Structure 1
Amino acid sequence: MTAPKTGRSATVTETLPPVRRAVIFDLDGVLVDSFAVMNEAFALAYEEVVGEGPAPFEEYRRHLGRYFPDIMRIMGLPLEMEEPFVRESYRLAHRVPVFEGIVELLLTLRVRGLRLAVATGKSGPRARSLLEQLGLLPFFAHVIGSDEVEHPKPAPDIVLHALDLLGLPAEQAIMVGDAPTDLASAQGAGVTSAAALWAVSDVDELLAARPAAVLRRPADLLALCRSVPRD
């Protein structure tokens, strides 16, 4: 997928506190470009459970950020699609690329002393497996899946759980997401929300969620995350 050509620098739409101690990332569409693999896994699961015909992946994609069973309920599709979808996602995981600039971003944030976490619509085991396969897992202090909180996104539970594990107040963290559900979860938890545009298909919908910051490329986040002072 081609990222939208929307410029280069971050646009900050509110005054942000000068020091962040942690960044919480969504996974799909922020760290990794998993949409092609997701599309294939969804189509195979749809054919296996529902039958032949075009799988409604574009509608599915509009709900990304939510837990897979919740998306099935919203779309009126059988929950039985989860097993083949997860199976195929594991099988195809080796084809998921990391977005350009992400590794450099994570390295720089770690050097600056920030702690990193992932809060994803995926299940925890699947998210950790994918990150480990891609060599990214060591960057993160915690990786939390939607199956590991009572109420998944857009509820704030997953972000609040990340803050609890990190041992930080909301004002010292920022969350980066590519879906309105990510931003709603961050905002509900009192965490500064940042919209990642490098793989977004509907920029207007994401901006309508009123993120505190807009990131047009991964490196833009660095302007909001200076080095953490040593205590």
Structure 2
Amino acid sequence: MHNFFFDFDSTLADTRNVAVIATQRAFAARGLTQPSRATVVSYMGVPIEVSFAKMADRALTAVELETLYTTFREQYQQAEQLGISLFTGMADTLSELKARGERLYVVSSKHSVPLQRNLEQVGLGTTFAAISGSDTVANYKPAPDGILNLLDRFDLMAAESVMIGDAKYDMQMGHNAGVATAAALWGAADPESVKAEEPTYLLQAPMELLTI
């Protein structure tokens, strides 16, 4: 593999607590029942434009949803101060891949503005050749848009590419894009659902990316 497409949340960095806190606070602020931690975690990897309507205890209008998204992003930025950290071995793994001349990208369900901010927060602001956030695609994960756009933009070969992620949606997106898939089991909230997608590689630690 020479082209590495990384999910961000729970793949590159541990953001689970931040996401749960921000989601619960946003729902409470808008007068909605707070979803449980387990519910929020189960939707990680899905854009908020999809998951929030499903987690709400009542039907929301388009205006109410937009307000909820805005509140969440405000809460997320505050909750970030509680700490976002790279998984053990990730920094060294990325450095080694870059030293080898491999091409690194991020394909996330997160909006590209907070995504870039989070990358800078964990010291990866200039590590990746490009990022793809939810605002840069017509169709969200598990649609292949994020990967296909980067393959086309950088003239990359699908046969030399791999999608690395912690959720089944990442594996489905990789399959739909015709690239290899690597399950980041170090961050997976539901490892069995990820394995059920039959990823090309099952990885227990970031350093194992150096062997594929």
Do these two structures clear the TM 0.5 threshold for a shared fold by scoring above it? yes
Gaps of at least 5 residues in structure 2 are none
Contact map agreement 2:25 2:34 (CA 8 A) in 1: no
- Is residue 40 of structure 1 aligned with residue 21 of structure 2? yes
The AA in structure 2 aligned to 1:84 is T
Among residues 80, 84, 87, which one is paired with 2:71 in the alignment?
84
Q: Give the count of matched residue pairs.
A: 204
- Is residue 71 of structure 1 aligned with residue 51 of structure 2? yes
Deviation at 1:217, TM superposition (A): 0.4
The AA in structure 2 aligned to 1:25 is F
Partners of 1:97 and 1:30 lie apart in 2 by: 11
Q: Which residue does 1:49 correspond to in 2?
A: 30
Which moved further from structure 2: 156-165 or 178-187?
A: 156-165
1:56-113 deviation digits (Å, cap 9, x = unpaired): 3322321222211111233346423211111111122241111111100100000111
Contact map agreement 1:23 1:114 (CA 8 A) in 2: yes
1:197-218 deviation digits (Å, cap 9, x = unpaired): 0022221111001111100000
The AA in structure 1 aligned to 2:186 is W
Contact map agreement 1:24 1:162 (CA 8 A) in 2: no
SS at match of 2:162: strand
Q: What are the within-5 Å matches in structure 2 for residues 1-150 of structure 1?
A: 20-51=1-32, 54-76=34-56, 78=60, 79=65, 80-94=67-81, 95-150=83-138
Deviation at 1:143, TM superposition (A): 0.9
Which moved further from structure 2: 131-140 or 211-220?
A: 131-140
SS at match of 1:138: coil
Q: What's the C-alpha RMSD, in Å, of the aligned pairs?
A: 1.4
Q: Considering fraction of residues, name the structure with more helix.
A: 2
Identity of aligned residues (%): 31
The AA in structure 1 aligned to 2:95 is L
Partners of 1:197 and 1:40 lie apart in 2 by: 23
Q: Which has the higher contact order (CA 8 A, sep 6+)?
A: 1
- Is residue 218 of structure 1 aligned with residue 206 of structure 2? yes
The AA in structure 2 aligned to 1:56 is S
- Which consecutive aligned stretches of 4+ in structure 1 deviate over 6 angstroms post-superposition? none
Gaps of at least 5 residues in structure 1 are 1-19, 225-231
Among residues 180, 189, 192, which one is paired with 2:177 in the alignment?
189
TM-score (norm 1): 0.84
The AA in structure 1 aligned to 2:25 is L
Partners of 1:70 and 1:166 lie apart in 2 by: 29
Which moved further from structure 2: 70-79 or 102-111?
A: 70-79
1:124-183 deviation digits (Å, cap 9, x = unpaired): 111011101221021100011011100010101111112123320211111100001111
Contact map agreement 2:144 2:174 (CA 8 A) in 1: yes
